[in-house]
Amino acid sequence: MANSNLDVIIPTLNEQEGVAHTINEIKQTINDARIIVVDGNSTDKTLQIVKDLGAEIIVQKGNGKGCAICQGLTKINKDTRYIAFIDADYT
């Protein structure tokens, strides 16, 4: 994927209700943002929704939001200027 000035990390766990709205809102607002979803082994349709929307997916190893954020940070490109952390319910 091409480098973006902004990488967005979204930790998820069973977020099928809100994740599509969140990803679509990011794409509409900042169309070249790189979206990285770190999923904590969801048992609902979260991963399928994320995949269908074209975001990058990392399956989390370990538990908790902090762990998810750390794993997302390992995927940041060296040329990325800004990093945003957004919950899947867009908070």
Q: pLDDT by residue (tens digit) across 64-89?
A: 999 999 999 999 988 999 999 999 99
What pLDDT was estimated at residue 1? 45
Q: Does residue 1 lie in a domain region?
A: no
Q: Does residue 73 lie in a domain region?
A: yes
Query: How many domains are there within the chain?
Result: 1
Q: Which domain holds residue 40?
A: 6-85
In our burial notation (b when 16+ CB lie closer than 10 A, e otherwise), range 1-40 reads eeebeebbbbbbbebbebbbebbeebbeebeebbbbbbbb
Q: Does residue 34 lie in a domain region?
A: yes
Q: How many angstroms separate the CA atoms of 44 and 3, rounded?
A: 31
List the CATH number of the domain containing 74.
Answer: 3.40.50
Q: Does residue 43 lie in a domain region?
A: yes
Q: Does residue 91 lie in a domain region?
A: no
| Prediction pTM value | 0.92
- The pLDDT averaged over each successive group of 10 residues in the chain (91 residues) is 79 97 96 96 98 98 96 94 94 72
Per DSSP, what are the bridge partners of residue 13?
none
